[in-house]
């Protein structure tokens, strides 16, 4: 059946950028070891030079992702959290990092001059923080929590005043696992321990207006939703579920736009490639799959020794990073020797 998803515009010319044309040459090229427990989240810096990892061992580690050797170099370890760290996010200008975890705190870190230090600690959730996310326009910092709320903070003047205003999205009936902004920062999608994905319009003058906002509900999965992710062009919203499927929602037509099946257990993490042509997924079935978004078919499946908790592409498109239940980060890239034959 023909997919309703459109093709990405333009063509890739760099043979090191992961694409459907060279996916057959994707290999594990480096690992990062040092975490003592599960990996929960991974995020590359905007320039793709650093990789941040969050773990159940209460630490965030920063790795040199300019791959030079099979073993990645650990540059810094942050151990300020009192409990497991669930999420990290980098601001659009590469100047700040946010983190959240089981200590119910959101921490903001300064990344200036690569000297990472804590800038602020926010204690406005009552229970574990499962996700943090900066909006693409840099105005908002969102966090999703076990307490059933998503908090949207207007951080426009944070660096000058150390103050911010907060709006609360509070109509979830269970704890919230994930939050994502659309590329234009107009929409927020939330995933919770329900089969429903919620869409919130955040085009407000005062963020506190969100306290009374009501979401659009997308009921498509048959079990809870672990993660939501917008395509880079903003047209599609992908959701990953405990029901083992990934579903697409067309933001323009406001209707379902297909489903990916193939994982045998819960799909816990998804990530679009920078050009939107590929989608990577990580599952408790110990596999990482890469899918052709246009054709909605699986291109490749990579096996891990443990269940895989997180997956992300580097902004330059050259690397795919995954983190597993043993605390190991794997980085995948194109083997040019295979490409050249």
Tens digits of per-residue pLDDT, 34-52?
A: 999 999 999 999 999 999 9
Whether the pLDDT of residue 21 is over 90: the answer is yes
Tell me, rounded to whole angstroms, the distance of Cα 290 from its chain centroid. 15
110 or 13, greater pLDDT:
110
Contact 332, 304 (CB under 8 A): no
For residue 151, what pLDDT band results from cuts at 50, 70 and 90? Answer: very high
Distances (CA, A) of 195 to 137, 147, 201, 219, 220: 29, 18, 20, 6, 7
In this prediction, residue 162 carries a pLDDT of 86
Contact 25, 313 (CB under 8 A): no
Which among 37, 34, 38, 146 is positioned nearest to 100, based on CA atoms?
146
Q: What percent of the chain has pLDDT over 90?
A: 84
In this prediction, residue 114 carries a pLDDT of 67
Strands 106-110 and 60-64: unpaired
Q: What percent of the chain has pLDDT over 70?
A: 96
Chain-wide mean pLDDT for the chain? Answer: 93
Which among 123, 131, 87 is positioned nearest to 105, based on CA atoms?
123
In this prediction, residue 5 carries a pLDDT of 52
Contact 224, 241 (CB under 8 A): yes
The H-or-E segment that residue 179 falls in is strand 176-181
For residue 115, what pLDDT band results from cuts at 50, 70 and 90? Answer: confident
Distances (CA, A) of 5 to 113, 256, 258: 41, 11, 8
| Mean pLDDT of the 144-149 span | 96
In this prediction, residue 7 carries a pLDDT of 43
**Residues linked to residue 191 through DSSP beta bridges, in sequence order:** 178, 197
| Mean pLDDT of the 100-125 span | 91
Instruction: Quickly count: other Cβ atoms within 10 Å of residue 255's Cβ.
Output: 10
Alpha helices in the chain (DSSP H): 158-161, 336-340
Q: For 100-156, give the DSSP string.
A: EETTS-EEEEE-GGG--EEEEEE---SS-EEEEEE-TTSSEEEEEETTS-EEEEE-T
* Separation CA 154–CA 178 (nearest Å): 19
Positive or negative, the CA dihedral 153, 157, 163, 165 is negative
Domain 23-340 listed as CATH 3.20.20.70: no
Whether the pLDDT of residue 311 is over 60: the answer is yes
In this prediction, residue 2 carries a pLDDT of 33
Contact 142, 133 (CB under 8 A): yes
In this prediction, residue 160 carries a pLDDT of 84
Whether the pLDDT of residue 3 is over 60: the answer is no
Whether the pLDDT of residue 4 is over 80: the answer is no
Of 40-44, 122-126, 211-215, 242-246, the one with minimum mean pLDDT is: 211-215
Contact 327, 42 (CB under 8 A): no
**How far apart, in Å, do the first and last CA atoms of the chain sit?**
33
Residue burial 83-101, b: 16+ Cβ < 10 Å; e: rest:
ebbbbbbbbeeeebbbbbb
User: How deeply is 1 buried, as exposed, middle or buried, from its count of CB atoms within 10 A (0-12, 13-18, 19+)?
Assistant: exposed
For residue 93, what pLDDT band results from cuts at 50, 70 and 90? Answer: very high
* Separation CA 69–CA 222 (nearest Å): 43
pLDDT digits (tens, 9 = 90+) for 258-290: 999 999 999 999 999 999 999 999 999 999 999
Distances (CA, A) of 314 to 53, 64, 74: 13, 12, 17
| Mean pLDDT of the 8-15 span | 60
In this prediction, residue 12 carries a pLDDT of 47
């Amino acid at each position: 059946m023909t997919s309703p998803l459109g093709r990405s515009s333009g063509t890739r010319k760099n043979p090191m950028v992961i694409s459907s044309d060279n996916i057959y040459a994707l290999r594990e090229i480096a690992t990062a070891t040092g975490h003592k427990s599960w990996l929960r989240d991974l995020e590359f810096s905007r320039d793709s030079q650093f990789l941040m990892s969050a773990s159940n061992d209460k630490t965030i580690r920063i790795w040199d992702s300019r791959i030079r050797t099979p073993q990645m170099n650990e540059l810094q370890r942050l151990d300020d959290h009192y409990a497991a760290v669930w999420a990290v996010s980098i601001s659009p200008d590469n100047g700040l990092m946010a983190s959240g975890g089981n200590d119910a705190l959101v921490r903001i870190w300064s990344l200036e001059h690569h000297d990472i230090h804590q800038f602020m600690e926010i204690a406005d959730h009552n229970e574990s923080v499962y996700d943090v996310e900066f909006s693409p326009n840099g105005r908002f910092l969102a966090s999703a929590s076990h307490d059933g709320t998503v908090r949207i903070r207007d951080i426009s003047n944070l660096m000058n005043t150390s103050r911010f205003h907060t709006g609360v999205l509070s109509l979830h009936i269970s704890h919230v696992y994930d939050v994502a902004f659309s590329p234009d920062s107009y929409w927020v999608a939330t995933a919770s321990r329900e089969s429903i994905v919620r869409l919130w319009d955040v085009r407000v003058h005062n963020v506190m207006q969100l306290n009374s906002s009501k979401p659009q509900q997308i009921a498509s999965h048959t079990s809870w939703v672990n993660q939501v992710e917008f395509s880079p062009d903003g047209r599609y919203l992908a959701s990953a579920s405990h029901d083992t499927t990934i579903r697409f929602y067309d933001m323009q037509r406001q209707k379902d736009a297909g489903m990916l099946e193939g994982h045998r257990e819960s799909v816990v993490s998804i990530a679009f490639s920078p050009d939107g042509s590929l989608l990577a997924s990580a599952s408790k079935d110990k596999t990482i799959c890469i899918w052709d978004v246009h054709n909605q078919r699986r291109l490749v499946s990579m096996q891990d020794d443990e269940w895989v908790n997180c997956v992300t592409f580097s902004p330059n498109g050259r690397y795919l990073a995954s983190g597993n239940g043993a605390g190991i980060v794997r980085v995948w890239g194109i083997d040019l020797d295979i490409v050249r034959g």
